[in-house]
Structure 1
Amino acid sequence: MAKQLFTAGTINGVLFNNRAMVAPMTRISASETGVPGEIVQHYYASFARGGFGAVISEGLYVDQAWSQTYAFQPGIVTEEQVAGWRKVVKAVQQDGARFIAQLIHGGALSQANIYRDTTVAPSAVQPVGQQLGFYHGQGAYSLPQAMNSDQIAAAIDAFAASAERAVKQAGFDGVEIHAANGYLLDQFLTDYTNQRTDRWGGDIAARLSLTLEVIKAVRARIGADVILGVRISQGKVNDFHHKWKEGKAGAATVFALLQAAGVDYIHVTEYQAWQPAFSDGQQTFADIAREAAPDTVLVVNGGLDNGELAEAQLAACADFVAIGKAALANHDWPTRVAQGETLRALPDNVLSPVASIKQSEI
């Protein structure tokens, strides 16, 4: 059935067995202090055994200040956290998959931080929506403090230092900077959450500047030969239907600047990847990214629950596809698709980390 999904691919010279990746998904299954244990190891390794060419981790917080986003979220800051990830990485790689660490700073969307009881953001703007109940949040988000220049510099360094720990100490094959879904870097990119008048605010190119500085700092720490990606979206966990007011032109600017910054791949995510990105056009978010960044590997995520949908994106513009919720129900999704087997239905409690492991025990 699939013509491209099960062909090998490369990113920055690193070989991947196929084009199917596990999308990054918050699992909140680490210890209270952010250390991944046996449940986390079993969870990630099962995707490798199930045939995925690569796994992108859930967002790992990057400092002991404001970056932690959820209770029981893993970090990549302390020696104990790094040691825990080293075991998980080894298990995934031994079963044949590449493993990429996604790095996150929650910013204003932090709802359970063991290090701080306050939040920070580009501007003192209260986030829309409510905290996520299935991640132990309750009620409205807190009003964040506007970050000062020292705090911004510290956040940049935290991303870079954690990237170095992830690659050089824990053994990940690469890192992905989470600049999507409403978290800190996306808060700087978004017009209504970024009301700054300094170098970090202004038009969409200026609002992307923090992400570009993080990319620059991370690359300096991990070197040119290590995979470096970035995730970008319009929608957010707290503002699902958000669209960039600058439309296609703004999106093209963002993708062109990311390519110029030297990332090895751009990971775009939409609710349904095949739908038009903006109401006044027919191009998808991925189409615009491909057109604006033709020389950068493109990873596409968004509702690609079966092999046909995944293959269609590869035929259209994607180099790799990232499978999300369907992978939670089918840790062996590539094997089932390759063999033409029926995929398991998504369980009601698929967002539960333990439930997803039990659902797809392989």
Structure 2
Amino acid sequence: MKPNLPNLPISTPSLNHHVSTEQLQVCNSDALVQLLCNEMQPQVKTTSTSVQAIAKRIAKEVERICSKSSRIQTSGQIKSWLLNLARHRSQKCLRYYQLGSKKGRVELHSQLGAMVYRHIIISSSDLGFEARYNLIEDFLQAFYLEAIKAFRRENELPEDYTPRTQLELAEYMAFTEQYAKRRINLPSGNQQLVILRAQSFARRLPQETTVDIEQAVESAKTEEAESYQRHSAVQQVRSVMTAQSQFDPAEDSERDRVISELVKYLEAHGQADCIDYLSLKLQDLSAPEIDQILGLTTRQRDYLQQRFKYHVEKFAKQHQWQLVHQWLGAGLEQKLGLSSQQWEVFVSQLSEQQQQILQLKTAKQSDQAIARTIKCTPKQLQKRWTQMLEIAWTIRNGSTGMQAG
């Protein structure tokens, strides 16, 4: 893991030779925003509106810090502090922007992981590296969720705000790093926020967690172990910040579009609680954490999961099958994600009419044209195509016992 960035020095900021007398004289809120915009705009490929929005948020944050710090208020150098803190924030944002989405996420994840590594322990237990690593991943999942909530709250953003552009993501990552390093005053001294959270997380872990985690990271050697590893809690996709290790802007865009269309579909079907569930699953929260946030009993969550699964399958097989399959790399051009051997099995299981539908779909004819050709309504065609996709899904997921070739 990479070392932490140096913390902002606590000595007087007047030593910063970048601060000119002219800049200090005009350092009111609007002037500070304009100064940050002028410094950031040449270094990013985004609109001036986006840069200005981020500059305003940085200015607001540092103004809050300066107003609450008695040391800064009594220093006689408030403007100098204001400018230095603002530049510190903007430079950190630009650093993550220059790293890019993939490297920036890995950098932040590595920094926070290094900070909490020795604090994620279970008393009287000797955790191996893999087991501790998985615990750290689970902890950071929750911390990222806390950070985005704090980011929204402190910047008075909508509850559903999510960074969309590379610059917005860089701003969020810079905020998360700074949020993690905030010093919390305690009777025994002060401590960084992320370390306090990690210590609290470790204290809540039951002793038997060690056995569970060690089993989860070992290869499944028995039927019982295989069953354990198939359990949803073990199969959680790890942290949002490192999930896309092979970052591809096009793939990222497709993923965002799938999520956006799924949310629209759920909204149209009056499934607001499914949208809440989806947003939490995208943060890779465990079932107990989801229960706590949504205020659900285990039974209520099981029911919500089943309803969510039903709508996701309907969305994937009927409403937006092309979009979903394209994102999964399982479009018709890729034989619906089947191997050559599986494709032969799939085609052999189709009726004569279904094979005709497949040929016409492969030829990229419209649904209206296909419906006319096989003499059925568009709705009947959709139902038949869904049945065909279900056959392909069954084969692809190994229900036939065939191996991918």
Please classify the TM superposition score into its range, dividing by the shorter chain length: under 0.3
> Which structure: greater helix fraction?
2
Larger Rg computed on CA atoms: 2
TM-score, length of structure 1 as denominator length: 0.23
